[in-house]
C-alpha cells in the first residue's frame, strides 16, 4: 500500500508473522560473518509501520518518530542506531558515489509495531525507506543494488 504525490510518498512497511524460525548457528566467514544462519517461513501482514518521505533540497536527512498507538511506548533511537536514518544515509552515499547531487529527506515514521517485538518492523522500515527514496530521488537503482545496501545495514 502506498500513496504518492508531488511532495513525497507514504508507504506501508509491512510487519511479518514468523510461522517457523530456526537458528542453525552463526556464519563464521565471508561478508555475513557473525550473522545468524536462519531457516524461516513467515507471512507479511497488511499491518505495520508507515514511512512518509519528502524530498528536501538541503542534503540533510531527518527522521521523526510518531507512535501510531498510544499504548506503544517508543523511545526513538539515536541516529547512529536508527535503521531508517541509516538506510537513508547509505542510499544518499550511494547516490554520491554514482555522481548524483545529494538530496535530502524528511522522513516521518509512524510506529505501529512494538520495538524489538520480533515483527521485523525495523528491517521492513529500512527496506521501505530504501525503495521510497530510490524513487523520490530518481536514482533508479535496481532492486539487487537496494538489497546489497540492505545487507550492509545488518
Rounded CA separation 1/99 (Å): 31
pLDDT score at 43? 93
Instruction: Report the pLDDT value the prediction gives residue 80, as an integer from 0 to 100.
Output: 73
Q: Beta-carbon neighbour count of residue 81 at 10 Å?
A: 10
Task: Please list the rounded mean pLDDT of every run of 10 residues in the chain (154 residues).
Answer: 70 93 91 86 93 94 83 64 93 93 92 84 94 95 95 85
pLDDT of residue 73: 60
- Which pLDDT score is estimated for 5? 55
User: What residues contact residue 139 under an 8 Å CB cut-off, 6+ apart?
Assistant: 91, 94, 95, 98, 100, 133
The pTM (predicted TM-score) of the whole model is 0.85
Instruction: Give the burial string for 33-67 (b: 16+ CB within 10 Å, else e).
Output: eeeeeeeeeeeeeeebbbbbbbbeeeeebebebee
Write down the architecture of domain 2-153 according to CATH.
2-Layer Sandwich (3.30)
pLDDT at 70 (0 to 100): 62
C-alpha cell at 138: 530518481
Amino acid at each position: 500500500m502506498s500513496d504518492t504525490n508531488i511532495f513525497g510518498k507514504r508507504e506501508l512497511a509491512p510487519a511479518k508473522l514468523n510461522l517457523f524460525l530456526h537458528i542453525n548457528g552463526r556464519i563464521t566467514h565471508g561478508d555475513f560473518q557473525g550473522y545468524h544462519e536462519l531457516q524461516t517461513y513467515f507471512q507479511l501482514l497488511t499491518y505495520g509501520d508507515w514511512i512518509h518521505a519528502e524530498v528536501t533540497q538541503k542534503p540533510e536527512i531527518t527522521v521523526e518518530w510518531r507512535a501510531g498507538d498510544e499504548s506503544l511506548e517508543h523511545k526513538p533511537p539515536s541516529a547512529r542506531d536508527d535503521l531508517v536514518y541509516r538506510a537513508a544515509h547509505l542510499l544518499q552515499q550511494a547516490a554520491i558515489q554514482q555522481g548524483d547531487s545529494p538530496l535530502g529527506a524528511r522522513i516521518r515514521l509512524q510506529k505501529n509495531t512494538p520495538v524489538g517485538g520480533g515483527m521485523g518492523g525495523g528491517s521492513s522500515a529500512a527496506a521501505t525507506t530504501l525503495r521510497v527514496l530510490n524513487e523520490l530521488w530518481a536514482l533508479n537503482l535496481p532492486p539487487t543494488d537496494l538489497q546489497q545496501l540492505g545487507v550492509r545495514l545488518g
